[in-house]
Amino acid sequence: MRKLLLTFLVAFFLSLNLAAPLRANEIAPFENEISGPITIAGHTFVPHVLQRELIAQVHYRSYTSLVQRATKKAEKDHWPDERLRRELCELNFLFNYGIFYVYAHGSTPESVAGQRVFAALIQGNDAIELHVTRWKNAAGPLQKGFGQGLWWNKTLLGTAMTDLDLDQSFQLWIMDRETGKATKYLYEASGPTLEPQRTGRFEALYQLAFKLRHKFRVGFMHLSGHLDERLRKDLQNHLGKGEAHFTI
């Protein structure tokens, strides 16, 4: 029943989006609500607030930033080399286009409790990725900064971002399953971007991560190819071409 409700809600919101497309920059973002222009695998996207019915906060970390953060943490905490290699492998398998950290805020703990709010990446007529908030119980209320006085919960988007067409814009939605309210962000494609040249030890670690990706990810994706194919079919069904069967 829960999965069918998610299917209905995303299909409903998609139908509204197709019927009445919204213009970019209709709503000014709050301070620290969303990251500035972001770069995904060398392509720049400029975020805009299309609709705000829920208080949300979205931050993006690029794959390069994730590798750099893991490297710094390894140095600080004196990780064994094997642990760092495992961390780099995991980043390559799951987040080689980066991660969106999505935070939902509400006036009561129930308003952002686990399974109630979910986030989705949308491109064209396809739901690329969909996840509910992670924690059963909301955290907070926050004492300062963005969302002060509000309860909060979070989720991550990134494991299916390699299915994005980086030459096209996409949207990120945060939706309340009970009220039907939604906040929508447009990430407007603005073309390829030249990344700054990396030097020194970080460049060597970046190249190590790239080699690990080439060596292990191809084999991993080959072994799990049937699961990816099933997910793609589910996403198409989810958009009105049949009954979807999501595992959440």
- Give a yes or no: residue 245 inside a domain: no
Quote the pLDDT of residue 1.
53
Quote the pLDDT of residue 204.
61
Per-residue pLDDT for 12 more than 70? Answer: no
- Give a yes or no: residue 208 inside a domain: yes
Quote the pLDDT of residue 165.
92
DSSP class of residue 184 equals: E
- Residue 33: count of CB within 10 angstroms of its CB: 21
53-77 pLDDT per residue, tens = 999 999 999 998 999 999 999 999 9
113-155 pLDDT per residue, tens = 878 888 999 998 888 888 877 777 778 777 667 778 888 898 9
Q: How far apart are CA 223 and CA 6, in angstroms?
A: 29
Report the chain's mean pLDDT, rounded to a whole number: 75
27-43 pLDDT per residue, tens = 888 888 998 899 998 89
Q: How far apart are CA 130 and CA 32, in angstroms?
A: 23
In terms of C-beta density within 10 A (0-12 exposed, 13-18 middle, 19 or more buried), how is residue 231 classed?
middle
- Give a yes or no: residue 247 inside a domain: no
DSSP class of residue 97 equals: T
Question: Looking at the 3D structure of the chain, how many domains does it have?
Answer: 1
In terms of pTM, does the model score above 0.75? no
Quote the pLDDT of residue 187.
95
- Give a yes or no: residue 248 inside a domain: no
The domain of 149 spans 2-240
DSSP class of residue 39 equals: E
In angstroms, what CA-CA distances link 167 with 119, 126, 158?
22, 15, 17
Quote the pLDDT of residue 140.
77
Stronger pLDDT, 236 or 101, i.e. the higher one: 101
Q: 151, 168, 102, 89: which is closest to 129 by C-alpha?
A: 102
Q: How far apart are CA 54 and CA 146, in angstroms?
A: 14
Provide the b/e sequence for 1-20 (b: ≥16 CB within 10 Å): eeeeebbebbbebbeebeee
Q: How far apart are CA 226 and CA 40, in angstroms?
A: 26
Stronger pLDDT, 207 or 227, i.e. the higher one: 207
94 pLDDT band, cuts 50/70/90, is confident
182-206 pLDDT per residue, tens = 999 999 998 776 555 555 555 565 5
Highest-scoring range by mean pLDDT, 15-19, 94-98, 169-173, 211-215: 169-173
Quote the pLDDT of residue 232.
45
